[in-house]
Structures are given as C-alpha cells and as structure tokens.
C-alpha cells in the first residue's frame, strides 16, 4: 500500500494556496469597492476597478468550484456541498459583508478627516486598511477549511489505495 505522502503534501499546499487566494479576494472586494469612490461616478477609472473586482470574484469562484464544474461537464452527478463547506461560505460572506458595512458607516467622516490632513486619495487609504482587515479576518476560516479538505483528500486516497490493493490481490 502506498504511503501517499506526496499527494497529501501537495493537496494541503494546494488547499492552503486556495485559502490565501480566497482571503485576498475578500480583501479586494472590500478595498477596491472603497478605493473606487476616489473616482467620479460612471468614470472609466471606476468602471475598470469594478471590472477587476468582478474578474477576481469570478476567478475565485471558478478555482474553488473547478472540480465540480469538470464533473458536470463530463456528465457526472453533482456532489452536494457538505454542511462544513456551506458554513465556511456563510462565515466568509458575513465577514466580508461586515467589513463592507463598517467601511460604509465610517467612510464619509473618515474621508473628510483624511482630506483635511492632506490625503489626496482618502478612499484608497481607507480601502487598503479595510481590505487588509477584511482579508485577514477571513483567512483563519479558509485556512481551517483547507486543513479539513486536505484530510478528506488523504482519507479518500487511502480508500482508493485499499480498493486498488483488493482488486489486484483478488485478480
């Protein structure tokens, strides 16, 4: 029976990279949305920022759901998301929404204060701080789920190894 250390390490690393990338996207959602306020409404610069934001969210969703999308394209049945996955999704969404709400509340007064103190782009400063805070808040949730996913992958690999061993010895 194979010890499986190679695939497990790669799987854990892959899941952790995905957790960090997801956390960065969460920070981008909060930060870019705020930073865009430095540009006039309906301006090309604001539209470009929103386009970058939308592209990063779509890329994160595709990366996270790529195995399910490949299975669906191959005509295989869709595995329903387990409750742990849904819990992570809800926590991540609530944390991002919470930071967005905080930024919305403090945006006006804080931007005026920063402008009075010489900041040329106060919304960019607020967005950077709020985006970093939002991303750092979602990282522990995603990091813990990465470890759970890696453990699930390891257990599935052990089961596959056992089945392969039974098939080869029974032949």
Q: Does pLDDT of 54 surpass 50? A: yes
* Higher-confidence position of 4 and 83: 83
DSSP string for the chain: ----HHHHHHHHHHHHHHHHHHHHHHHHHHHHHHHGGGSPTT-HHHHHHHHHHHHHHHHHHHHHHHHHHHHHHTTPPPPPPPHHHHHHHHHHHHHHHHHHHHHHHHHHHHHHHHHHTT-S-HHHHHHHHHHHHHHHHHHHHHHHHHHHHHHHHHHHHHHHHHHHHHHHHH-
Q: What is the pLDDT of residues 76-127, one digit of tens each?
A: 766 666 778 788 888 988 998 899 899 989 999 999 999 999 999 999 999 9
36 CB contacts (<8 Å, ≥6 apart)? Answer: 45, 46, 49, 50, 123, 127
pTM of this prediction?
Answer: 0.76
Q: What is the pLDDT of residues 23-45, one digit of tens each?
A: 999 998 899 989 999 999 899 99
What pLDDT is attached to residue 121? Answer: 93
Enter the tokens of residue 89.
Answer: 């999704």
Name the average pLDDT for the chain.
85
Taking alpha carbons only, the member of 23, 48, 22, 24 closest to residue 35 is: 48
What pLDDT is attached to residue 10? Answer: 60
Count the neighbouring beta carbons within 10 Å of the beta carbon of residue 11. 20
In angstroms, the CA 169 to CA 163 distance is 10
What pLDDT is attached to residue 160? Answer: 86
């Amino acid at each position: 029976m194979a010890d499986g250390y190679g695939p497990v390490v790669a799987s854990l690393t892959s899941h952790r990279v995905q957790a960090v990338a997801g956390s960065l996207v969460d920070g981008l959602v909060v930060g870019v949305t705020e930073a865009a306020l430095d540009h006039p409404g309906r301006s090309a610069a604001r539209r470009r920022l929103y386009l970058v934001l939308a592209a990063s969210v779509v890329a994160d969703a595709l990366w996270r759901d790529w195995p399910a999308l490949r299975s669906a394209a191959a005509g295989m049945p869709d595995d329903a998301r387990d409750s742990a996955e849904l819990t992570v999704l809800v926590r991540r969404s609530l944390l991002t929404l919470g930071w967005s709400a905080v930024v919305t509340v403090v945006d006006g007064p804080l931007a005026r204060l920063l402008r009075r103190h010489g900041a040329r782009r106060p919304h960019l400063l607020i967005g950077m701080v709020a985006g970093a805070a939002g991303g750092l808040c979602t990282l522990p949730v995603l990091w813990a789920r990465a470890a759970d996913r890696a453990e699930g992958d390891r257990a599935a690999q052990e089961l596959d190894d056992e089945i392969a061993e039974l098939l080869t010895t029974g032949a």
